[in-house]
Amino acid sequence: MDLTGKNVTLHDMSLRDGMHAKRHQLSLEQMVAISTGLDDAGIPLIEVTHGDGLGGSSLNYGFPAHTDEEYLNAVIPKMKNAKVSALLLPGIGTVDHLKMARDCGVNTIRVATHCTEADVSEQHIGMAAKMDMDTVGFLMMAHMVSAEKILEQAKLMESYGANCIYCTDSAGYMLPDEVSEKIGLLRSELNPNTELGFHGHHNMGMAIANSLAAVDAGANRIDGSVAGLGAGAGNTPLEVFVAVLDRMHANHGVDLYKIMDVAEDLVVPLMDQPIRVDRDALTLGYAGVYSSFLLFAQRAEAKYGIQARDILVELGRRGTVGGQEDMIEDLALTMAKEKGLI
């Protein structure tokens, strides 16, 4: 694979996807320390919101330590070069949240839908594009359908005004060939000016390999997370990816030692549990289940005595999609009843 001279825009997820791993409890001080460290290291784009995006604050996904507005207002004024993005899932957040984020100084809005439901994003993508924001369409759980279906849905988002489309491996299920095929088809069929991005999870140990495959196939934005802080086994670990891109002579604009230090000195110490491919995270990848289900399934195991792994496999069998966290307790209760545990 030759990535020599390719330009890669790295997008940090530790303060958004990482919120899943922190049960949305990062403090304002932690957010500011990590984001300023990333800014100083040269990371151009940093996502800041509740793990489930703007408006994610809920009993279903968890109440955060602070509101999205508080986090954004704490981080954005401290940025020297980095821009800040916010995620929005239609059905959870609304255009009111989007306008709030814009007023806080958010540069990039990423509107996320399940990979077959792009048409619920029209009002949000349209509004963000109308406000001249960097507008990204983010197709989640992209492993569940064919490359042709992803293209069809990407074209919808493009038609609503998205200037960048993401193929998102929310379950950490994909292997590099699948990434190449999907990104490759998007690259050949979408408007040449439309940027492409890839968002990986490390549940099958493939995050770095998949991200490289994505760049090779034509993606220029790659999501990662410093020290991998993210849902499931975490996102593509940014400091590792930077080192790999260095070795491959791709252009990324990030200082390797500085980002290593952010990972080691700031992020690893605040982890509540090691972010690694444990058996439950591996099950997410293997069964194709949304990564943020991990801690919910582990809590259900502790409460109802049903193995997290069994819950996750059943959730995969039922075709659950992102956001269906409420199914986890419901299913654990049903399984516990069947086993006579409650």
Partner 1 sequence: MSKKLKAVIIGPGNIGTDLLMKMQRSEWVEPVWMVGIDPESEGLKRAKEMGMKISSTGIDGMLDQVIKDDIRVAFDATSAYVHAENSRKLNELGVIMVDLTPAAIGPFCVPPVNLKKHASQLEMNVNMVTCGGQATIPMVAAVSQVQAVEYGEIVATVSSRSIGPGTRQNIDEFTRTTAGAVEAVGGADKGKAIIIVNPAEPPLMMRDTVHCLTKEKPDQAAITTSVHNMVREVQKYVPGYKLVNGPIFDGNKVSVFMEVEGLGDFLPKYAGNLDIMTAAGLRTAEMFAEEAYNGTITLPERG
Q: Toward partner 1, which CB reaches closer, 271 or 336?
A: 336
Q: In the annotation, is 202 catalytic?
A: no
Question: Considering the rule CB under 8 A, would residue 148 count as an interface residue with partner 1?
Answer: no
Give the footprint of partner 1 on residues 100-119 (CB under 8 A).
Answer: 114, 116-117, 119
Question: Considering the rule CB under 8 A, would residue 24 count as an interface residue with partner 1?
Answer: no
Q: Toward partner 1, which CB reaches closer, 45 or 332?
A: 332
SS (H, E, C) the chain: CCCCCCECEEEECCCCHHHHHCCCCCCHHHHHHHHHHHHHHCCCEEECCCCCCCCCCECCCECCCCCHHHHHHHHHHHCCCCEEEEEECECCECHHHHHHHHHHCCCEEEEEEECCCHHHHHHHHHHHHHCCCEEEEEEECHHHCCHHHHHHHHHHHHHHCCCEEEEECCCCCCCHHHHHHHHHHHHHHCCCCCEEEEECECCCCCHHHHHHHHHHHCCCEEEEEHHHCCCCCCECEHHHHHHHHHHCCCECCCCHHHHHHHHHHHHHHHCCCCCCCCHHHHHHHHHCCCCCHHHHHHHHHHHHCCCHHHHHHHHHHCCCCCCCCHHHHHHHHHHHHHCCCC
CB of 332 to partner 1, least distance (A): 9
Give the footprint of partner 1 on residues 292-321 (CB under 8 A).
Answer: 318-321
Out of 54, 74, 262, 327, the only residue in the binding site for partner 1 (CB under 8 A) is 327
Q: Toward partner 1, which CB reaches closer, 163 or 320?
A: 320
Question: Considering the rule CB under 8 A, would residue 159 count as an interface residue with partner 1?
Answer: no
Question: Considering the rule CB under 8 A, would residue 123 count as an interface residue with partner 1?
Answer: yes
Question: Considering the rule CB under 8 A, would residue 67 count as an interface residue with partner 1?
Answer: no
| Active-site residue, from 11, 20, 114, 201 | 20
Instruction: Considering only the stretches 162-170, 177-185, 261-269, 329-337, report the one whose residues sit in contact with partner 1 under the rule CB under 8 A.
Output: 329-337
CB of 52 to partner 1, least distance (A): 9
User: What is the distance between the alpha carbons of residues 158 and 220, in angstroms, rounded to a whole number?
Assistant: 17
Out of 49, 292, 298, 324, the only residue in the binding site for partner 1 (CB under 8 A) is 324
Out of 40, 69, 70, 122, the only residue in the binding site for partner 1 (CB under 8 A) is 122
What would the x/- binding string for partner 1 be over residues 124 to 143, using CB under 8 A?
x-------------------
Q: Interface residues with partner 1 (CB under 8 A)? A: 58-60, 90-92, 94-96, 114, 116-117, 119-120, 122-124, 318-321, 323-324, 326-327, 329-330, 333-334, 337
Active-site residue set: 20
